[in-house]
């Protein structure tokens, strides 16, 4: 817990869907997405099959949200709380201490457009594919080597897989294999609804996929539980006050207002609630927590790594630490959200009008608070 939060002063509670209300078998989903993206990079972007043959490392996946792609150098880096690069590798070749100091003498700006943080677990294949292409192209002057373009191509093809490609068809065909509910979530959501909280969902997933995931993770009663469900929301643009607020609207059979392409202002208007009276719960530091907090809502950051610690890697170190200092990921977790928890049911187990007091936590003391 980062700050005191009085739930009694919260009128509406919103939830992200993927990795918040619904849990994923990330290894299986990422394997499917990466396989499809490899084919798309070859067919639509002209990459050679050999240069997108990425190496999959489970430990990379476990600590990925502590890592970033530094595009000007084509390095995968781990930043400390002061945004100094503490560990780096290029094309899966590790930089030694002297090389690191020469390549990254200064802290990396938080607003540097050449830094792509791995904010989502679905973003892990971006790192693997990026590194594969860097390893294949980075040492050959005959190749057109543009790290920013490589990253953009990889992200676009992974996004294509997630939104328009075969991935979602394969997931929906055997959804229970890849997605699971958070235990007791439906019952606890009912308790919060009965206590007078207006509940809503904001997801970037399209309607067909979002409804299938909601049916599995919350049950078909989601149409009664949630007052509003916003799909195809394009977070973080959903929270951009300068973005257009147009949306298509329909009403589910049992009452939920279903939006597509909506904006945060639409949610506030429909629920007749504003700013700090809204609490939003999500797992993505950039698209959920920072964006909602900047918009003016209270936030809860769901950080699964708190309850699934991994042994410090010989090179990367621990998820929340860099040698004797916190990692930038730990700093983000500690400073950006009002409340932090490892799963959404930790929040929902509380009384809907409880006051949550801040709890001291040092990431250097371990992988969980």
Pairing of strands 67-70, 321-322: unpaired
Given the candidates 3.50.30.50, 3.40.50.1000, 3.40.50.300, 3.40.50.720, the CATH classification of the domain at 5-21+182-365 is 3.40.50.1000
Please report the pLDDT score of residue 187 as a whole number.
Answer: 95
Q: Which of 121, 165, 122, 130 is nearest to 54 (CA)?
A: 130
Q: Which of 296, 298, 299, 268 is nearest to 282 (CA)?
A: 299
Are the CB atoms for 137 and 128 separated by under 8 Å? no
Please report the pLDDT score of residue 367 as a whole number.
Answer: 39
Please report the pLDDT score of residue 227 as a whole number.
Answer: 96
In a 13 Å sphere around the CA of 303, the CA atoms on its Cβ side amount to 33
Please report the pLDDT score of residue 137 as a whole number.
Answer: 84
Angle 297-289-114 from CA coordinates, rounded to 5°: 130
The Cα 306–Cα 154 span in angstroms is: 29
**Digit-coded pLDDT (tens) for 249-288:** 655 556 789 999 899 999 999 999 999 999 999 999 999 9
Are the CB atoms for 276 and 297 separated by under 8 Å? yes
The Cα 359–Cα 369 span in angstroms is: 8
Instruction: Please report how the helices 124-137 and 26-45 are oriented relative to each other, as an axis angle in degrees rounded to 10.
Output: 40
CA–CA distances in Å: residue 227 to residues 18, 88, 96, 224: 19, 46, 54, 7
Q: Which of 336, 331, 340, 332 is nearest to 358 (CA)?
A: 340
Question: In the chain, where are the structural domains located?
Answer: 5-21+182-365, 26-171
CB atoms within 10 A of CB 226: 25
Phi, psi of 128 (to 5 degrees): -65, -45
Predicted TM-score (pTM) of this structure? 0.91
Please report the pLDDT score of residue 165 as a whole number.
Answer: 85
Sign of CA dihedral 291, 350, 332, 17: negative
CA–CA distances in Å: residue 3 to residues 58, 305, 339, 358: 33, 20, 6, 5
Please report the pLDDT score of residue 1 as a whole number.
Answer: 47
Please report the pLDDT score of residue 91 as a whole number.
Answer: 92
Residues of the chain falling short of pLDDT 70:
1-2, 139-144, 244-254, 309-313, 360-369
3-state secondary structure the chain: CCCCEEHHHCCEEEECCECCCEEECHHHHHHHHHHHHHHHHHHHHCCCHHHHCCCCCHHHHHHHHHEEEECCCCEEEEEECCCCEEEEEECCEECCHHHHHHHCCCCCCCCCCCEEECCCHHHHHHHHHHHHHHHHHCCCCCCCCCHHHHHHHHHHHHHHHHHCCCHHHHHHHCHHHHEEECCCHHHHHHHHHHCCCEEEEECCCCHHHHHHHHHHHCCCCHHHHCCEEEECCCCCHHHCCCCCCCCEEEECCCCCEEEECCCHHHHHHHHCCCHHHEEEEECCHHHHHHHHHHHCCEEEEECHHHCCCCCCECCCECCCEECCEEEHHHHHHHHHCCEEECCHHHHHCCCCCCEECCCCCCHHHCCCC
Are the CB atoms for 26 and 349 separated by under 8 Å? no
The Cα 270–Cα 164 span in angstroms is: 30
Tokens of 143: 């190749």
The Cα 205–Cα 211 span in angstroms is: 9
């Amino acid at each position: 817990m980062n700050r005191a939060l009085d739930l009694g002063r919260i009128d509406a509670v919103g939830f992200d869907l993927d990795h918040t209300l619904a849990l994923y078998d990330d290894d299986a989903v990422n394997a499917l997405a990466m396989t499809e993206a490899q084919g798309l990079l070859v067919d639509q972007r002209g990459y050679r099959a050999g240069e997108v043959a990425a190496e999959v490392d489970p430990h990379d996946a476990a600590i990925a949200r502590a890592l970033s792609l530094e595009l000007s150098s084509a390095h995968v880096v781990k930043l400390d709380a002061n945004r100094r690069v503490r560990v780096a590798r290029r094309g899966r070749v590790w930089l030694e201490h002297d090389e690191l100091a020469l390549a990254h003498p200064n802290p990396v700006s938080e607003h540097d457009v050449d830094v792509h943080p791995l904010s989502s677990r679905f973003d892990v294949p971006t790192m693997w594919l990026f590194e594969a292409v860097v390893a294949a192209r980075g040492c050959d002057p005959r190749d057109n080597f543009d790290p920013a373009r490589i990253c953009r191509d990889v992200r676009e093809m992974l996004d294509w897989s997630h939104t328009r490609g075969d991935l979602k068809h394969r997931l929906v065909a055997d959804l229970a294999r890849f997605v699971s509910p958070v235990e007791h979530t439906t019952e606890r959501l009912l308790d919060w609804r009965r206590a007078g909280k207006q509940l809503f969902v904001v997801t970037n997933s399209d309607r067909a996929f979002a409804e299938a995931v909601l049916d599995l993770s919350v049950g078909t009663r989601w149409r009664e539980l949630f007052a509003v469900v916003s799909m195809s929301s394009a977070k973080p643009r959903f929270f951009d006050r300068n973005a257009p607020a147009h949306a298509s609207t329909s009403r589910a059979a049992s009452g939920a207002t279903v939006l597509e392409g909506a904006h945060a202002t639409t949610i506030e208007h429909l629920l007749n609630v504003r700013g700090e009276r809204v609490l939003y719960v999500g797992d993505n530091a950039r698209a959920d927590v920072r964006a909602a907090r900047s918009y003016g809502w209270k936030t809860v950051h769901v950080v699964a790594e708190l309850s699934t610690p991994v042994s410090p890697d010989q090179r990367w170190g621990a998820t929340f630490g860099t040698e004797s200092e916190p990692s930038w990921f730990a700093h983000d977790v500690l400073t950006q959200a009002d409340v932090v928890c490892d799963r959404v049911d930790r929040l929902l187990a509380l009384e809907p009008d409880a006051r949550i007091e801040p709890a001291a936590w040092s990431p250097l003391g371990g992988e969980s608070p």
